Amino acid sequence: ETGVTQSPTHLIKTRGQQVTLRCSSQSGHNTVSWYQQALGQGPQFIFQYYREEENGRGNFPPRFSGLQFPNYSSELNVNALELDDSALYLCASSPIVGTPGKYTQYFGPGTRLTVL
């Protein structure tokens, strides 16, 4: 069974640029959630995708957008990068959508984004 993988591992961008981060969910998992973890803080929920549709969103501006593909892999796109977007971006997959806590999320290792 393959775990959650994310690419790239590290990324450096400059302000105003756009970035795409990728996530492959664990085999058999149809739900993917994205989180932003700033240095010294806990992960903050960005959004969740289920069956290629957005299924919940946290307090992030529209320049954070995503996609989920038929194979359940997912992308996180961030436009007009700001310095405060520097963080570890985590992807988590789960086997079922529904009431959080009723299922286990499996996290990938994250992508470390630095915005200069």
Partner 1 sequence: TQLLEQSPQFLSIQEGENLTVYCNSSSVFSSLQWYRQEPGEGPVLLVTVVTGGEVKKLKRLTFQFGDARKDSSLHITAAQPGDTGLYLCAGAFGQNFVFGPGTRLSVLP
Spell 70-89 as b/e; 16+ CB within 10 A means b. eebbbbbebeebeeebbbbb
Closer CB to partner 1, 16 or 60, in the complex: 60
* Residue 16 binding partner 1, by CB under 8 A: no
* Cβ atoms within 10 Å of 18's Cβ, excluding its own: 11
* Residue 5 binding partner 1, by CB under 8 A: no
Number of residues that bind partner 1 (CB under 8 A): 26
* Residue 101 binding partner 1, by CB under 8 A: yes
Q: How far is the CB of 110 from partner 1 (least distance, A)?
A: 6
Tokens matching residue 93: 């997959």
How many residues are given for the chain? 116
* Residue 66 binding partner 1, by CB under 8 A: no
Q: Which amino acid would we find at residue 24?
A: S
Distance of CA 82 to the CA centre of its chain: 17
Closer CB to partner 1, 23 or 81, in the complex: 23
Q: Which residue ranges make up the site for partner 1 (CB under 8 A)?
A: 4, 33, 35, 40-45, 48, 55-56, 58, 90, 92, 99-102, 104-110
